[in-house]
Amino acid sequence: MKRTKLVYVLPTYDADSPEHMFHIYGFLEAVAKHLDVWLVIERARGQPGFHNLKVYRQRTRAPVLSKLEELAVMLWARLHGYKRFYTHYSISAGILSALVTRILGGICYYWNCGHPTKFVPERVRSLLDLRIKLRNEVLLGLNLHMVHHLVTGTLTMAHYYSETYGLELRSIRLMPNWVDLERFTALPDKPVLRLQLGWPADKKVVLFLHRLAERKGAHYIVPIAREVLAAYEGPTSELLFVVAGDGPYRKNLEDEIRKAKLAEQFRLAGWVPNREAIKYFAAADVYMMPSTEEGFPRTLLEAMAGRCPFSATDVGGVKDILTPTQARFMMPAGDWRAMAAALGRLLADDALRDELAFEGRAHVHRYSQDNVVQTFVSLVSE
């Protein structure tokens, strides 16, 4: 049987990445068992390690020349029978794939899942403001109208793009994020993980694992911790807040911890490669995600797979991926006191945490890599 030929454009490759891109590498290896995949990588750190698919790593770094190189690669692929193009986030690659398929035939898909207009400044006061406005409004809008199909994570996100950018809902395709459950089944027990991570075995650990930026709620971490500690009925020495991540808010966070005199209750781990992040979820007692902006947060899937109950904000498509019980711990964005209260309830009730851990592990199977691979193959073969 003749296999569908697909060009997949990935903006970055880094085997040590702390970002979500890491999940795509194993996913593409699995997809390549069903499709003829040619991966085009715009920027790579280190040598890409793929075995079952063709890989083209762009060589040119100069802005204009790199796009000409990418266009030449797409034209070559199209003339050699590749009719399907799938771009992950790269706006320029989405536009180029649309040009190629609109002129020479074929179908192009473009993945985006977030709220790109939420952080566009109302008034342009600097060159950075202008760049953000051009990228998130003008160029992204042009891209979304040029490609055949926007692909996004949930129905809530599809409605956002339809209303914000004027897209027809029927042209938008849905594909959830995924998690490779096999990575979690091979983990040792929690006591062993804590020993490996250097965490105390006798403390209840609240985990924040995300980019340290205000859009991810980094400015709520210390207020939440203070509220949880103030309301905790047991000795506060039993609680430890682990922050895994880095970003522009790191210095502010360190200052806030010092001023609140909470150094003993905090541990800042810095960036954690995604391949190691699974240990953090499996070793923690609860996870908090106080983000003010998300699309389809994969960290919640990782928390479920790691049997770590959580409290998260009602942003993006979060409500679309939770069970009714999990949704009880979903709080309005910005309501850090409500999140602190939710975390307090989880920390105080061992049976409740066990119930949510079991429920999350069962629920996350619908987002397993194997299931989403089938969804993706069907999508690009339609």
127 with 202, same domain: the answer is no
pLDDT, one tens digit per residue, over 191-236 is 999 999 999 999 999 999 999 999 999 999 999 999 999 999 989 8
284 with 323, same domain: the answer is yes
216 with 236, same domain: the answer is yes
175 with 288, same domain: the answer is no
83 with 17, same domain: the answer is yes
What percentage of the chain has pLDDT greater than the value 70?
Answer: 100
Check which CATH number belongs to the domain holding 146 and give it.
3.40.50.2000
208 is written with which tokens?
A: 């924040």
pLDDT exceeds 80 at position 145: yes
Residue 348: pLDDT band (50, 70, 90) is: very high
pLDDT exceeds 80 at position 2: no
- CA distances (Å), origin 61, targets 37, 43, 99, 350: 24, 8, 22, 53
pLDDT at site 168: 97
146 with 81, same domain: the answer is yes
Q: What are phi and psi of 173, to 5 degrees?
A: -110, 145
What percentage of the chain has pLDDT greater than the value 90?
Answer: 89
174 with 276, same domain: the answer is no
Q: What are phi and psi of 305, to 5 degrees?
A: -65, -30
Number of DSSP helices (H) and strands (E) in the chain, helices first: 16, 13
Q: Please enumerate in sequence order all residues whose Cβ is within 8 A of that of 182, keeping only pairs 6 or more positions apart, or say none.
A: none
Residue type (1 letter), 282: A
pLDDT exceeds 70 at position 345: yes
pLDDT at site 129: 86
- CA distances (Å), origin 319, targets 204, 211, 316: 27, 21, 8
Residue 319: pLDDT band (50, 70, 90) is: very high
Quick check: 84 and 107 in contact, CB under 8 A? Answer: yes
pLDDT exceeds 70 at position 1: no
**Matching residue, tokens 């296999």:** 3
pLDDT exceeds 90 at position 121: no
What pTM did the predictor assign?
0.94
pLDDT at site 342: 98
pLDDT exceeds 90 at position 20: no
125 with 203, same domain: the answer is no
Instruction: Name 286's bridge partners.
Output: 206
221 with 346, same domain: the answer is yes
What average pLDDT does range 9-22 have in this prediction?
Answer: 89
Quick check: 293 and 119 in contact, CB under 8 A? Answer: yes
Judging by beta carbons within 10 Å of its beta carbon (0-12, 13-18, 19+), is residue 279 exposed, middle or buried?
buried
Judging by beta carbons within 10 Å of its beta carbon (0-12, 13-18, 19+), is residue 361 exposed, middle or buried?
middle
199 with 321, same domain: the answer is yes
Q: Residue 302 is part of which domain span?
A: 181-366
Task: Look at the chain and report how many structural domains it folds into.
Answer: 2
9 with 65, same domain: the answer is yes
pLDDT at site 316: 96
pLDDT exceeds 80 at position 318: yes
Q: What is the distance between the alpha carbons of residues 288 and 298, in angstroms, rounded to a whole number?
A: 13
pLDDT exceeds 90 at position 382: no
What average pLDDT does range 78-99 have in this prediction?
Answer: 97
49 with 98, same domain: the answer is yes
Total residue count of the chain as it appears in this document: 382
